[in-house]
């Protein structure tokens, strides 16, 4: 694997800028603390603009992502400078083990420095790198108010740059704490449907004997969860790369609450992951929930979510919210979340652009 260049002198392009003044797009100097800090400011301002519920990525979390080497994916970060000031950041991930025809991109421009062509230049740099790497499809996401999916500036921006809407998810929030008697009631009700299964939570990492079957569940999420027009293949998480990811998350100050349902033989057939951040303890992310197809119909989805929330109340009683996203068409999981009390706050629009290879 070739690590991305971090040289300040790697100039990608100089642009006149839509509003004059010009700007430069180049690789982010990941070894420069000051430049990374400035990039973090621009990213945070962009992601929180008009979104009070936005999950904050801390500077520590960003630094670990930028300075880590992964066998799972390669990260290439780009920066746009206006008059020497960081105006925008483009983050691009190249999967290395599966789904290798894709790249994932994120573009953030400081609200104060928008409408200069910065975002467009960063997007096109990501598209160019996708093509240069022999890949065929760029994926990006845009967060917009639920009632502004047709005419929001982010939507027009994506369309102007050749991206087509591929899937729509809804972000939902659950205010904490959830009434403990309510969780107990839901746990009892679901237990009547899944006799013979065992539901347990583990903080940090799973016991060694559960890791392979957990990875098997995780790998199915990309193909089992509704993804609209995006055609994912199963992922390739293994016990080895699982531990690699946990090590990175530990360095970021993140902790995972794994909740799993297992068969009498000890095989994980359903899971729910909640991720806590020491740098943003109020907000908890629900990263994934899956029940294997052959074990559905036993309320295991509800069971692992309820048990996870009970463990969260024990481990981090001061947390204030849980965030999750589900595809609009995923009626069953949406129903579980709404029964738990999640409320919708925005649409998350997934776009793709095919660029050839």
> Does domain 173-347 bear CATH number 3.40.630.30?
yes
For 269-310, write each residue's pLDDT tens digit: 999 999 999 999 999 999 999 999 999 999 999 999 999 999
The answer on pLDDT for 316 being more than 80 is yes
The answer on pLDDT for 8 being more than 90 is no
3-state secondary structure the chain: CCCCCCCCCCEEEEECCCCCCCEEEEECCCCCHHHHHHHHHHHHHHHHCCCCCCCCCCHHHHHHHHHCCCCCEEEEEEEEEECCEEEEEEEEEEECCCCCCEEEEEEEECHHHCCCCHHHHHHHHHHHHHHHCCCCEEEEEEEECCCCCCCCHHHHHHHHCCCEEEEEEEEEEEECCCCHHHHHHHHHHHHCCCCCCEEEEEECCCCHHHHHHHHHHHHHHHHHCCCCCCCCCCCCCCHHHHHHHHHHHHHCCEEEEEEEEECCCCCEEEEEEEEEECCCCCEEEEEEEEECHHHCCCCHHHHHHHHHHHHHHHHCCCCCEEEEEEECCCHHHHHHHHHHCCEEEEEEEEEEEECCC
Q: What does the domain layout of the chain look like in residue ranges? A: 11-135, 173-347
For 80-111, write each residue's pLDDT tens digit: 999 999 999 999 999 999 999 999 999 999 99
The answer on pLDDT for 3 being more than 80 is no
Structural fold of domain 11-135: Aminopeptidase (3.40.630)
Q: Do domains 11-135 and 173-347 have the same CATH topology?
A: yes
Q: What is the pLDDT of residue 17?
A: 57
Confidence of residue 357 (pLDDT cuts 50, 70, 90): low
């Amino acid at each position: 694997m070739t690590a991305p260049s971090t040289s300040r002198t790697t100039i990608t392009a100089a642009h006149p800028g839509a509003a004059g003044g010009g700007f430069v797009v180049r690789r982010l100097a990941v070894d420069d603390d000051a430049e990374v800090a400035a990039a973090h400011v621009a990213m945070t301002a962009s992601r929180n603009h008009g979104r009070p519920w936005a999950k904050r990525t801390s500077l520590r979390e960003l630094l670990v992502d930028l300075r880590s080497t992964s066998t799972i994916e390669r990260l290439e970060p780009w920066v746009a400078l206006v008059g020497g000031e960081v105006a925008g950041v483009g983050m691009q991930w190249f999967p290395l083990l599966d789904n290798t025809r894709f790249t994932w991109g994120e573009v953030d421009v400081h609200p104060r420095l928008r409408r200069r062509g910065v975002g467009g230049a960063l997007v096109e740099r990501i598209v160019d790198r996708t093509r240069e790497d022999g890949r065929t499809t760029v994926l990006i996401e845009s967060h917009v108010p639920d009632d502004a999916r047709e005419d929001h500036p982010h939507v027009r921006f994506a369309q102007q740059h050749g991206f087509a809407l591929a899937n729509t998810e809804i972000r939902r929030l659950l205010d904490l704490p959830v009434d403990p008697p309510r969780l107990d009631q839901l746990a009892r009700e679901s237990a009547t449907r899944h006799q013979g299964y065992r539901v347990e939570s583990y903080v940090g990492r799973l016991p060694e004997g559960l890791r392979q079957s957990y990875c098997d569940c995780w790998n199915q999420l990309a193909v089992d969860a509704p993804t609209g027009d995006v055609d994912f293949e199963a992922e390739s998480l293994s016990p080895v790369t699982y531990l690699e990811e946990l090590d990175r998350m530990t360095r970021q100050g993140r902790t995972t609450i794994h909740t799993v349902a297992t068969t009498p033989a000890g095989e994980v057939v359903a899971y729910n992951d909640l991720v806590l951040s020491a740098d943003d303890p109020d907000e908890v992310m629900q990263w994934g929930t899956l029940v294997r197809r052959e074990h559905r119909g036993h309320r295991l989805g509800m069971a692992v979510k309820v048990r996870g929330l009970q463990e969260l109340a024990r481990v981090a009683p001061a947390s204030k919210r849980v965030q999750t996203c589900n595809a609009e068409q995923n009626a069953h999981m949406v129903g579980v979340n709404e029964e738990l009390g999640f409320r919708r706050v925005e649409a998350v629009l997934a776009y793709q652009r095919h660029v050839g290879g």
